[in-house]
Structure 1
Amino acid sequence: MAGSKRFCATHPDDPEPGDLIEIFRPGYQHWALYVGDGYVVNVTPVDEGPPAPFSSGKSVFSRKAWVRMQLLKDVVGDDTYRVNNKYDSTYAPLPVKEIIRRAKYLIDQEVPYDLLSSNCEHFVTLLRYGKAVSSQAKKAISAIGFVTVAAGAFSLLGLLLSRSRERRY
């Protein structure tokens, strides 16, 4: 895996067609699939015009996304990125021609978007591996579960304390 970098058209570890591109946005990572000649396929909000740094964030609220083919440099903007085929040791990548065919078939189509079950990482891993996976979603689900358990524990503790106070009077 290459280190994070700002966009550079000529870099020793330039992406290969079919590679997953992890783009580091403030507070989250956006994912795209490299299709060659400087272009990526990724999901953006349905109502979006030109690419924006918070494009995946807007999709969270619309529940829909648009599949676009854009220049990698435009999608990365001032952020950093890296090639990150992190699931290659777990899932066998599909043949590159199949990955690219599937990606290009979806260009200009509207697709469902959900932060926990159908986000930009799910989208690109489905194209590369034939399986939609997202470590970001797993982390979010774990965090939600922890917060829910903690809130339940505090509520129960508050209920027990209020009952013990009522008995004293």
Structure 2
Amino acid sequence: MLSPLKNLFYYDKEPGDLIEIFRIAYQHWAVYVGDGYVIHLAPTTEQAGGGPAMLMSVAYNTALVRKEKLQDVVGTDKWNVNNILDERYEPFSPEEIVERAESMLDQELPYRVAQKNCEHFATNMRYGMPESRQVQRAVDAVLGNMMMPRRNPVADLFVDMLQIARGNKR
């Protein structure tokens, strides 16, 4: 039995599907357009298969919409089909998704890791809604940490002593 992260030759993919590629520190996203090709938004620093240069993408403010072989974009990374928002939004038809993505080919677009990244591009092509779950998870993690009450051991000890003095704590 194949794992959920199947290899390139055995995974069922259809035109219009979103492809999630697991890089070292993030996920790269692309739209499968058929015949082994994907269309994706990639900063000019991106090399086939990702690599260390991709970590520098945060320094760039534009990216290029490219059509490349899925195998070349994936390199040695794991990947899967992940139509991440199908339960939330009605996707366009496969033909319309491919047409939308192809209409963007070779365009240089604004690029911001938190607002206009490859996942935003891919979800916009499929649903007409540019969303990034990995950005949302990062924001939630940061805000969650900021909202967590900080423990102050001295203040805790003082409160404990007051409660003991009042007979509320043993």
Counterparts of 1:84 and 1:47, CA distance in 2: 25
Deviation at 1:112, TM superposition (A): 1.3
Counterparts of 1:76 and 1:52, CA distance in 2: 5
Q: 1:77 aligns with which of 70, 75, 78?
A: 75
User: SS of 1:6's equivalent?
Assistant: coil
Question: What are the Cα deviations for residues 67-118 of structure 1, in whole angstroms up to 9, with x where unaligned?
Answer: 1000000001001111111211111010122111110111111111112211
What letter is aligned with 1:74? Answer: D
Unaligned runs of 5+ in 1: 161-169
Q: 1:135 aligns with which of 130, 133, 157?
A: 133
Alignment of 1:1-169 (within 5 A): 3-8=4-9, 11=10, 13-48=11-46, 50-54=47-51, 56-149=54-147
Larger helix fraction of residues: 1
Counterparts of 1:138 and 1:56, CA distance in 2: 20
Instruction: Report how many aligned residue pairs link the two structures.
Output: 151
RMSD: 2.3
Unaligned runs of 5+ in 2: 156-170
Deviation at 1:52, TM superposition (A): 4.3
Counterparts of 2:99 and 2:60, CA distance in 1: 27
1:163 aligns with none
Is the contact made by 1:46 and 1:65 (CA closer than 8 Å) also made in structure 2? yes
**TM-score, normalised via structure 2 length:** 0.79
**TM-score, normalised via structure 1 length:** 0.79
